[in-house]
Amino acid sequence: MQEMGKLLFLLGGITALIGLMLWTGFGKGWLGRLPGDIHYSKANFSFYFPVVTCILVSLLLTFLLWLFRR
């Protein structure tokens, strides 16, 4: 049970830090506008998919989860 408590505490802290960064506007200028992100616009249609941003977030989360499981 202690391991579950540590995990919940850690996840809550990470969630709070992410929320604080989003609240302060961290990454507003570059996050989601990296080279390699797909943006297509034509007349009344616009499509946007942040491929590179998704890959970077995935790598960061994978590293953090790997680090905390050790």
Question: What is the chain's pLDDT, residue by residue, as a tens digit (70 residues)?
Answer: 778 888 888 888 888 888 888 788 776 777 777 888 898 899 899 998 889 888 988 998 898 888 877 7
**How many structural domains are present in the chain?**
2
Q: Residue 56, exposed/middle/buried by CB under 10 A (0-12, 13-18, 19+)?
A: middle
Same domain for 59 and 39, yes or no, is yes
Let me know: does 55 contact 67? Beta carbons within 8 Å: no
Same domain for 4 and 38, yes or no, is no
Same domain for 50 and 70, yes or no, is yes
Same domain for 56 and 39, yes or no, is yes
Same domain for 23 and 41, yes or no, is no
| Structural domain span for residue 18 | 1-28
pLDDT for residue 57: 86
Same domain for 11 and 38, yes or no, is no
pLDDT for residue 6: 83
